[in-house]
Amino acid sequence: MPIAFNPPAEVVNRDYPFILTTGRNLYQYHSGSMTRQVRAIEEHAGEAYVELNPVDGAKLGIAHGDLVKVSSSAGK
């Protein structure tokens, strides 16, 4: 059954040129509220990371391994 199209709540624009999505880490459960207390898991998958197309990263002066701050109109 067809449904009506609903446009996304946020769209890319000059201030926010990327669509941000969240991913899941195989080793951390939920927000890590419990798994972050396990040293072995934290050592293996403790730090959050961003995946960015290398061409976009180069345009922004971001290289593999650089620290970045991510923000959207909803927050940072």
pTM: 0.61
Tell me, yes or no, whether 9 lies in a domain: no
Residue ranges making up the domain that contains 54 = 24-76
Tell me, yes or no, whether 72 lies in a domain: yes
CB burial of 33-54 (b: ≥16 within 10 Å; e: otherwise) equals: eebeeeeebeeebeeeeeebee
**Confidence at residue 22, expressed as pLDDT on a 0 to 100 scale:** 76
- Report the number of distinct structural domains present in the chain: 1
Q: pLDDT (tens digit, 9 = 90+) per residue, 16-58?
A: 989 888 777 666 666 666 666 677 777 766 677 788 999 999 9
Cα–Cα distance, 26 to 35 (Å, whole number): 11
Instruction: Map residue 75 onto helix, strand or coil.
Output: strand
Kindly indicate the confidence band of residue 9, based on its pLDDT and cuts at 50, 70 and 90: confident
Tell me, yes or no, whether 33 lies in a domain: yes
Cα–Cα distance, 6 to 18 (Å, whole number): 20
9 alpha-carbon distance from chain centroid: 18
